[in-house]
């Protein structure tokens, strides 16, 4: 449906409550799928407000389940709502909702991790990357086991402007376990600063909007939940390929309590390790005794740029994996031992 179509009323007609839907379709939450539902429509409205103005918007909701957030998205005026739900038990309830909002809801029964979003919406909604974000939003309350791999996939797509980012700087409003939300937004020097903080913040503006206590969900999870909003940056803070940035950041944080040179050393083959680490840190002008959480995004940029220069000089460097070198070394030790026996 055209996202720009005029609409007079967005409100849904009277429907069974979410609790009634759950009873009607026998939708008991499955613990093994980490299903925790939001039944309070004031709370789902509050989450939706964090996404911004949804009037006439295109929205992809991931994991709609019994449809609490879905109703709030429709009541906020979304014109084209695509829901992606893995569990077939929820499809009849979602169809009921779709009948109550004719022409505004499309249902995909599938796994969002495998779903390609690059052709899911009409091409005319696309904006140039440098312009304001498109009127397209991704919203979801997903299980924690899905939201973390999914945000990593979406950050990679943000970097390459693929997937939902073929339409421009698509905004995301997602829930995470509170600790993960804190890591995503952690500033330089904070206890929660981690790999995820750098990967999210070099590509986007990330804000934790508010925390939802675990008791607000049915059934109650063991943890509280953070609602996090992402807006892709026009100009990422680091202008290197995602995989290169990821490799540098992963190496730095593998020894998070040690000086940063320790993790960086593992980017290089043993024979050249000390010399090249020194060269990398000198060229990036980064203090080797900094601890990983104390490294700023601009220092990560300098490290990624310096590592990229070294990779251009030695084409085998980027594919070097210290674990593989270690494995080969152990294997040849074992062989020598066997031959001696």
Contact region with ligand SAM (CB under 6 A), list: 62-70, 125-133, 256-264, 320-328: 62-70
> Which residues from 298-327 bind ligand SAM, rule CB under 6 A?
none
Residue 27, number of CB atoms within 10 A of its CB: 20
In contact, 242 and 159? CB cutoff 8 Å: yes
Give yes or no for residue 141 binding ligand SAM (CB under 6 A): yes
Per-residue binding letters, 264-283, with ligand SAM (x by CB under 6 A): --------------------
Position among 78, 82, 139, 142 found at the interface with ligand SAM (CB under 6 A): 142
For the bound state, the minimum distance from the C-beta of residue 335 to ligand SAM, rounded and expressed in Å, comes to 44
Tell the smallest beta-carbon distance from residue 51 to ligand SAM (Å): 14
Per DSSP (E only), the strands in the chain are: 37-38, 58-62, 80-85, 105-109, 136-140, 171-177, 204-212, 217-218, 225-232
Q: Is 20 in the site for ligand SAM (CB under 6 A)?
A: no
The CB-of-103 to ligand SAM minimum distance in angstroms stands at 22
End-to-end CA distance of the chain: 75
Asked whether position 176 contacts ligand SAM by CB under 6 A, the answer is no
Q: 22, 38, 260, 303: which one contacts ligand SAM (CB under 6 A)?
A: 38
Tell me if 143 sits within 8 A of 34, measured CB to CB.
yes
Measure the CA–CA gap between 110 and 203, rounded to whole angstroms: 28
CA torsion through residues 326, 327, 328, 331, sign: positive
Strands 136-140 and 171-177: parallel
- Written as six digits, the tokens of 135 are 């009127």
Residues that bind ligand SAM (CB under 6 A): 33, 35-38, 62-66, 68-69, 84-87, 90, 111-113, 141-143, 146
């Amino acid at each position: 449906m055209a996202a720009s179509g005029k609409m007079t009323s967005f409100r849904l007609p009277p429907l069974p409550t979410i609790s009634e839907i759950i009873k009607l379709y026998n939708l008991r939450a499955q613990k093994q799928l980490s299903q925790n539902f939001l039944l309070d429509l004031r709370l789902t409205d509050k989450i939706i407000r964090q996404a911004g103005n949804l009037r006439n918007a295109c929205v992809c909701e991931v994991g709609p389940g019994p449809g609490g957030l879905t109703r709030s998205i429709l009541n906020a005026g979304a014109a084209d709502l695509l829901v992606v739900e893995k569990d077939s038990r929820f499809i009849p309830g979602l169809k009921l909702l779709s009948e109550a909002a004719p022409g505004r809801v499309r249902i995909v029964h599938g796994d969002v991790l495998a779903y390609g979003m690059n052709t899911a919406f009409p091409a005319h909604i696309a904006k140039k990357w440098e312009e304001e974000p498109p009127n397209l939003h991704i919203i979801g309350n997903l299980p924690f086991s899905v939201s973390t791999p999914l945000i990593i996939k979406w950050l990679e797509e943000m970097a390459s402007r693929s997937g939902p980012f073929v339409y421009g700087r698509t905004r995301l409003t997602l829930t995470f376990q509170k600790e993960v939300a804190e890591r995503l937004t952690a500033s330089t020097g904070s206890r929660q600063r981690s790999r995820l903080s750098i990967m999210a913040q070099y590509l986007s503006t990330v804000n934790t909007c508010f925390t939802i206590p675990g008791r607000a969900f049915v059934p109650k999870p063991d943890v509280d939940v953070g609602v996090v909003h992402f807006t892709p940056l026009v100009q990422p803070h680091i202008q290197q390929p995602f995989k290169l940035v990821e490799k540098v950041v992963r190496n730095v944080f593998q020894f998070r309590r040690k000086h940063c040179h320790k993790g960086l050393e593992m980017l290089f083959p043993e024979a050249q390790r000390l010399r090249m680490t020194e060269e990398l840190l000198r060229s990036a002008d980064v203090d080797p005794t900094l601890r990983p959480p104390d490294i700023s995004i601009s220092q990560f940029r300098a490290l990624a740029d310096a590592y990229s220069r070294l990779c251009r000089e030695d084409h085998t460097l980027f594919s070097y994996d210290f674990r593989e070198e270690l494995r080969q070394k152990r294997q040849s030790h074992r062989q020598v031992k066997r031959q001696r026996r």
